[in-house]
Structure 1
Amino acid sequence: MYNNYIKRMIDFILSLIGLILLSPVFIVLCFWIKMDSNGPILFKQKRFGKNKTFFYIYKFRTMRTDTPNDMPTHMLSDPDQYITRAGKFLRKTSLDELPQIINILKGEMAIIGPRPALWNQDDLIAERDRYHANDIKPGLTGWAQINGRDELEIEVKAKLDGDYMKHMSFLFDVKCFFGTITSVLKSDGVVEGGTGELHKEDSL
C-alpha cells in the first residue's frame, strides 16, 4: 500500500510545498548562475528511471558548456577545470539538485530512492539489476547517499540501493530524509571527480 500509493502521494505533496517555499532560492540561484558563466540556467541529462526506462533529469548547471557530454564527473581527467565558480558551491551544498523537484512532480522520480544512473553507466545498472534496485523510481536522495555518496564503489553503492528496495517503508524514508539533511550540512561523501574514494583511502 505504501510503496504503490502512499509514497507517491507524499512525494507529490512535499515536492509541491517545497517548490513554493523554495521559489525565492530558485530565483536567486538562477540569477547567480546566469551572471557567473555563459550558458543555460538548467542542465538536463538522460538518465535511467524505473524499470530502466529513460527520462531527462533537471539540475542547475554547474559546469561550463564545453564539458564533454554524458560523461560522469569521475571519468573526467580534471573535473575542476570544467566546474564554474557558482557550480562549486552548488555541488558542495547539493543545491544543484533542487530542480529535480520538477521530476518528482512529474512522477519520474521520488524523494527517496536510488540516484538515477546515467544512460551509459552500464556497470552501475548491471550491479543494481542483481538487487532489483532498477525496479523502483530513482530518488532525489537515498540510502546510498547518506552512507558514502561519491566515496562508495559501484558494488557497494548498488548493494545499498538494493537494501533500500528490499526494506522500503515510510520509516525508512524518514530516516533517509533526515540523514540527508545531516549529510548535506556536513558535506559528507562529496568527492569531485571520484567514485570509490573510500576504498582508495583505505588502501593508502
Structure 2
Amino acid sequence: MSIVGPRPCLPSQTELIEARRARGVNELRPGVTGISQVQGIDMSDPKKLAEVDALYIEQSGLLCDLRLILATLIGAGRGDRVRKKA
C-alpha cells in the first residue's frame, strides 16, 4: 500500500471491482488517499468512483501525488465541514 492511489475496496464490492478492472485501476498500488477521496466521492457510486480512480492512471506522478497529499491534509473532500452562519 502507498500513500497515494485508489483506496482499496472490500471483496464484497463486486460492482466496483469489475468497474475498476475494466478501466485498469486494479493494476495500481492502493493508497490511503487519492483523487476520489479529495473530491469527496464515496463508494456508493461504484461506476463514478472507478472513472475518477482511473484518472490517476493518466495524471500520476510526483506533482500529482504532492497535490493530493496537500489537499488531503487541508481537508479537501470532507463532508463534515461546518459553514458559518452570516
TM-score (norm 1): 0.36
The reply to whether residue 169 of structure 1 matches residue 61 of structure 2 is yes
State the shift of 1:152 in Å: 6.1
Task: Report how many aligned residue pairs link the two structures.
Answer: 80
- What's 1:158 paired with? 50
Q: Which has the higher helix share?
A: 1
Map 1:55-66 to 2 at 5 A. none
Task: Kindly provide the CA deviation profile for residues 82-124 of structure 1, in whole angstroms up to 9, marking residues without a partner as x.
Answer: xxxxxxxxxxxxxxxxxxxxxxxxxxx0100000011111011
Evaluate the alpha carbon distance shift between residue 151 and residue 125 of structure 1 in structure 2; reply closer, same or farther with a 3 A threshold. closer
Which amino acid is the alignment partner of residue 165 of structure 1? Answer: I
State the shift of 1:153 in Å: 1.8
Taking the aligned partners of 1:115 and 1:149, their CA distance within structure 2 comes to 11
Please say if residues 42 and 49 of structure 2, whose CA atoms lie closer than 8 Å, have aligned partners that are also in contact: no
Taking the aligned partners of 1:125 and 1:151, their CA distance within structure 2 comes to 11
- What's 1:142 paired with? 34
Please say if residues 43 and 49 of structure 2, whose CA atoms lie closer than 8 Å, have aligned partners that are also in contact: no
Give the alignment's Cα RMSD to 1 decimal.
1.9
Taking the aligned partners of 1:166 and 1:155, their CA distance within structure 2 comes to 18
Please say if residues 116 and 138 of structure 1, whose CA atoms lie closer than 8 Å, have aligned partners that are also in contact: yes
Taking the aligned partners of 1:149 and 1:165, their CA distance within structure 2 comes to 17
Task: Kindly provide the CA deviation profile for residues 19-58 of structure 1, in whole angstroms up to 9, marking residues without a partner as x.
Answer: xxxxxxxxxxxxxxxxxxxxxxxxxxxxxxxxxxxxxxxx
- What's 1:125 paired with? 17
Please say if residues 5 and 30 of structure 2, whose CA atoms lie closer than 8 Å, have aligned partners that are also in contact: yes
Off by >2 Å, runs of 4+ in structure 1: 149-152
Determine which structure has greater relative contact order: mean sequence separation of CA pairs < 8 Å that are 6+ residues apart, divided by chain length. Answer: 2
Taking the aligned partners of 2:58 and 2:24, their CA distance within structure 1 comes to 9
Taking the aligned partners of 2:75 and 2:52, their CA distance within structure 1 comes to 16
- What's 1:110 paired with? 2
Identity of aligned residues (%): 32
Map 1:37-56 to 2 at 5 A. none
Which amino acid is the alignment partner of residue 118 of structure 1? Answer: L
